[in-house]
Amino acid sequence: MGGQESRECAAAEHEQEMGEACLRGTMDPACKGGKAADMKEAQKDSDKGYNPEECPVCISAFDDVMQRPRNLPCGHTFCTSCINGLKELGHVTCPNCRLVHVVPDAGQFPISYITEDFIRRLRGTAPASLLGKAGKAAGEPVPSLDMQPDVKGAECLSRAIRSMLQEQEEKVLTTIRGCQELQVQLDHYQTSLGVWGEQQQHLEDRLQTLVDRSKGARLLVRQEEAQVEDKRKQVQQGEEQQHLMLHRLRSVTSRQEAFEAIDDADLLADQESQRTQAWQEMFPKVPTVATIRKVSALPSLS
C-alpha cells in the first residue's frame, strides 16, 4: 500500500508540474498547440460574453460557498445555487443542452475541482477554506457547510478516493441539513405547544370562575329551598286550623256559640290572609332568582 500511494503521489505531482508548465508555455509544441487552441476557444467564448469565472445562468462569480461550481453528467458547469433551483422531482434539466439528469443519492452533483483550480490560478488566491481557518483564529465567522476543506496532502490521493470522500461528504452534509430542518420543526412544534398550553390555562381559569359562581348560586338555591320548606309547613298548619274552624261553624247549636264561632273564624281568616300575602311578596326572592339566572346564562366556553 505504501508503494502504491507513493506512485500515486508522484504521478499527481508530475501531472501538476505538467499543468503549470503548460500554463507558462514551457512545454513541447503539442502542449503549446493545445494551449493555443484553448486560448482560441476562450477568446471565442469571450466574444460571446462567456466568462469561465461566472455561472452562465445567474452570471455570478463562482466561489467556495453557495456559488461553488458543479458538473452535470453532460459536462456543463453551473453554480450550486442554480443547480439547486433547477431540481424538480429528483431531476435536473441542463440549461444548455436540455438533457435531463437524475440527482445523485447524496443530493448534489460532483464539484468541479478543475474549474475551482483554474479560477484560483487566474485570481492567484488561496481557497476560501484556508482563509476560513485564518478568519476563525481572528474571530471572524466560520464558513458555511458547503465549503470543501483543503486537506493537506489531498493532491496525493487517487481520483477514486477523492470521489469517495466527496460522495461521503455530501451524504454527511445532507444528514446535517436534515438535522437542522428537524430542529426547526421541533422549534415550531414547541412554540405551538406553548400556545396550546396558554389556551388550556385560560380555559381552566374560565372554568374555575364558572364553578365558583355556580357554587354560590347553588348555595342560594339550598337556602331558598329551606325557607320554602319551612313556609310550606306553616301553610299546612294554617290550612288545618281552617278545617277545624269550618267544622266548628258547622257544629254550632246555640246563638251565643254561633257569634263566638263567627268572630273567631273571621279573625283566623284575616290572619291567614295577611300571612299568605306576605309570603307571596317574599317568594320568589328577586335577588336570588336574578343571580341564578345570571349564572345559568353565562356564555359557552367554546
Q: Are 20 and 46 in the same domain?
A: yes
Write out pLDDT tens, residues 158-216.
Answer: 888 888 888 898 889 989 988 988 998 998 899 999 999 999 999 999 889 888 888 88
Task: Give the CATH number, domain containing residue 159.
Answer: 3.30.40.10
What pLDDT sits at residue 153? 53
Q: Are 222 and 152 in the same domain?
A: no
Q: Are 113 and 153 in the same domain?
A: yes
Range of the domain at 163: 54-182
Q: Are 163 and 77 in the same domain?
A: yes
Q: Are 210 and 145 in the same domain?
A: no
**Count of domains for the chain:** 3
Q: Are 16 and 58 in the same domain?
A: no
53/35: higher pLDDT? 53
Q: Within a domain: residue 302?
A: no
Q: Are 234 and 161 in the same domain?
A: no
Q: Are 107 and 216 in the same domain?
A: no
What pLDDT sits at residue 73? 92
Buried b (16+ CB within 10 A) or exposed e, 14-35: eeeeebeebeeeebeeebeeee
What pLDDT sits at residue 138? 40
Helix (H) or strand (E) holding 287: helix 286-296
Q: Are 59 and 164 in the same domain?
A: yes
Q: What is the CA radius of gyration of the chain?
A: 50
Q: Is 17 left (phi over 0), alpha (psi -120 to 50) or beta?
A: alpha
What pLDDT sits at residue 125? 54
Q: What is the mean pLDDT of residues 248-252?
A: 88
Contact 147, 132 (CB under 8 A): yes
Write out pLDDT tens, residues 125-159.
Answer: 544 443 444 344 444 444 444 455 554 555 677 88
Q: Within a domain: residue 190?
A: no
Residue 287's alpha-carbon distances to 109, 220, 275, 294, in angstroms, are 81, 10, 22, 10
What pLDDT sits at residue 231? 85
Q: Are 13 and 63 in the same domain?
A: no
Q: Within a domain: residue 193?
A: no
Of 106, 127, 261, 117, residue with least CA distance to 178: 106
Locate 101 and state its grid cell.
439528469
Q: What is the pTM of this model?
A: 0.34
Q: Are 100 and 42 in the same domain?
A: no
Q: Within a domain: residue 192?
A: no
